[in-house]
């Protein structure tokens, strides 16, 4: 093995024993950890300096669970949001592709906040940024740091930033960032969550946007809970709204989601007027609501075929009729919009006060 020196270290650190004295299960675990650590090793087969003091178990978790080798989302997969795409390209993708030009005054900043109702494409944008900028994508949900990694969150955060710094250019996407950087609880704040927050802010301060190509993207449905320190670090704040008509009043985004999903599955038979009707009936639906609606509507032909007595095991694709407007009308009774009008007002107010409108 190229890094047999490290394997020895890992082995003894994990088990406190030499390799010959381990039982089979432990050997397999050690082997697994070694494999993910191999991916982090340099050409000399050694772990980079920055990672040597970090726990192999956590490095392995970052490498296997948090690092996404193939985010597989392109700009074209995201309906609407033209304004956000344009801003993100200029603020984030160009700097990641041409760090030599984007330094000094043009330095892009370290943090981007995507805020807005749930299910509007924030995670998709994060993944698309990584794809377009050919960057390594790291995804972590801040609430898992506070709930699942109790007491270990700080160490995991250090491992995350450590690995990202060895895999540049890197995009670290922190979902539900409000649960990490919230202004609540400052009085009786739990000691461990306060430490976690401090560690996170230290790591963010720690990388130099002129020399390191690491971008932190925070996503939240509750921007109003972020405190001043968080806002200061997330210098660009983009509102990701519900899919709505474009400037000329076309219901482009919702229609696009319906067409695209149906076409992908070869179920596309709806006329333009039907699509227009669906769009009119789905005012206030998020991208994710639209996806659920299409899923439900596409069950219509299947349910009908089964009602006619065809057994599910014998059912052929040709036995099912195409999806129709009526299927959507039925589905609309099951799938309701998940965002209320009141909530939208809160986002718009916050956007006016703190959003990057340009």
Q: Indicate whether 162 belongs to the interface with ligand ADP (CB under 6 A).
A: no
- Nearer residue to ligand ADP within complex by CB, 161 or 347: 347
Bridge partners of 238, per DSSP, are 114
Count of residues that bind ligand ADP according to CB under 6 A: 17
> CA dist 320 to 34, 315, 327, Å?
50, 8, 13
Give the chain's length. 358
Q: Which helix (H) or strand (E) holds 141?
A: strand 136-141
Q: Which C-beta is closer to ligand ADP: that of 207 or that of 256?
A: 256
Does 174 bind ligand ADP (CB under 6 A)? Our answer is: no
Of residues 322, 317, 335, 240, the one with CA closest to residue 278: 335
Question: Taking CB under 6 A as the rule, does residue 257 contact ligand ADP?
Answer: yes
Which residue's Cβ lies closest to ligand ADP? Answer: 287
> What SS3 class is residue 137?
strand
Min CB(259)–ligand ADP separation in Å? 11
User: Binding to ligand ADP by residue 121, rule CB under 6 A?
Assistant: yes
Contact between 255 and ligand ADP by CB under 6 A: the answer reads no
Sheet of 111-115, strands arranged across? 67-68, 136-141, 170-175, 214-220, 111-115, 236-239
Helices (H) and strands (E) in the chain, counts: 16, 6
E strand or H helix at 220: strand 214-220
| 218 binds ligand ADP per the rule CB under 6 A | no
Burial of 97 (0-12, 13-18, 19+ CB in 10 A): middle
Q: Does 217 bind ligand ADP (CB under 6 A)?
A: no
Closest CB to ligand ADP among residues 288, 298: 288
Q: Does residue 78 belong to the site contacting ligand ADP (CB under 6 A)?
A: yes
Output 173 or 207, the one with its CB closest to ligand ADP. 173
β-pairing, 136-141 with 67-68?
antiparallel
Per rule CB under 6 A, is residue 262 in the interface with ligand ADP?
no
Nearer Cβ to ligand ADP, position 63 or 123?
Answer: 123
DSSP-assigned beta bridge partners for residue 171: 137, 215
- In the block, tokens 């394997």 appear at 7
Q: What is the DSSP letter of 322?
A: P
> Strand 111-115 and strand 136-141: pairing?
unpaired
118 binds ligand ADP (CB under 6 A): yes
Task: Indicate which single residue of 119, 223, 241, 301 sits in contact with ligand ADP (rule: CB under 6 A).
Answer: 119
With CB under 6 A as the contact rule, the residue among 3, 6, 63, 123 that binds ligand ADP is: 123
The stretch near ligand ADP (CB under 6 A) out of 48-56, 112-120, 163-171, 244-252 is: 112-120
| Binding-residue pattern over the window 228 to 247 for ligand ADP, x denoting contact by CB under 6 A | ---------------x----
Q: Which residues within the stretch 273-312 sit at the binding site for ligand ADP (CB under 6 A)?
A: 287-288, 291
Q: Which residues bind ligand ADP (CB under 6 A)?
A: 78-81, 118-124, 219, 243, 257, 287-288, 291
């Amino acid at each position: 093995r190229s890094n047999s020196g490290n394997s020895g270290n890992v082995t003894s650190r994990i088990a406190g024993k030499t390799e010959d004295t381990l039982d089979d299960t432990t050997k397999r675990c050690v082997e697994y950890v070694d494999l993910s650590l191999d991916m982090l090793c340099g050409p000399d087969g050694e772990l980079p300096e920055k990672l040597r003091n970090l726990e192999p178990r956590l490095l392995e978790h970052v490498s296997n669970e948090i690092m996404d080798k193939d985010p597989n989302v392109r700009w074209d997969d995201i309906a609407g949001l033209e304004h956000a795409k344009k801003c993100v390209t200029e603020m984030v993708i160009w700097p990641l592709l041409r760090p030599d030009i984007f330094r000094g005054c043009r330095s892009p900043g370290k943090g981007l906040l995507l805020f807005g109702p749930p299910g509007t494409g924030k995670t998709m944008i994060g993944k698309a940024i990584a794809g377009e900028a050919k960057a390594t994508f790291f995804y972590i949900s801040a609430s898992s740091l506070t709930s699942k990694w109790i007491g270990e969150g700080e160490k995991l955060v250090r491992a995350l930033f450590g690995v990202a710094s060895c895999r540049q250019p890197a995009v670290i996407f922190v979902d539900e960032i409000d649960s990490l950087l919230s202004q609540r609880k400052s009085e009786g704040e739990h000691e461990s969550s306060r430490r976690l927050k401090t560690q996170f802010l230290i790591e963010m301060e720690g990388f130099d946007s002129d020399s390191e190509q690491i971008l932190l993207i925070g996503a939240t449905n509750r921007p109003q809970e972020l405190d001043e320190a968080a806002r200061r670090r997330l210098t660009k704040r983009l509102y990701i709204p519900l899919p709505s008509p474009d400037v000329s009043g076309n219901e482009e985004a919702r229609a696009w989601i319906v067409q695209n999903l149906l076409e992908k599955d070869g179920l596309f038979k709806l006329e333009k007027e039907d699509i227009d009707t669906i769009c009119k009936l789905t005012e206030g639906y998020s991208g994710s609501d639209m996806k659920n609606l299409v899923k439900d509507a596409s069950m219509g032909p299947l349910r009908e075929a089964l009602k006619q007595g065809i057994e599910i095991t014998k059912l052929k694709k040709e036995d099912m009729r195409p999806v129709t407007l009526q299927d959507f009308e039925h589905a609309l009774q099951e799938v309701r919009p998940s965002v209320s009008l009141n909530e939208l007002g809160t986002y718009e107010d916050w956007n006016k006060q703190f959003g990057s409108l340009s």
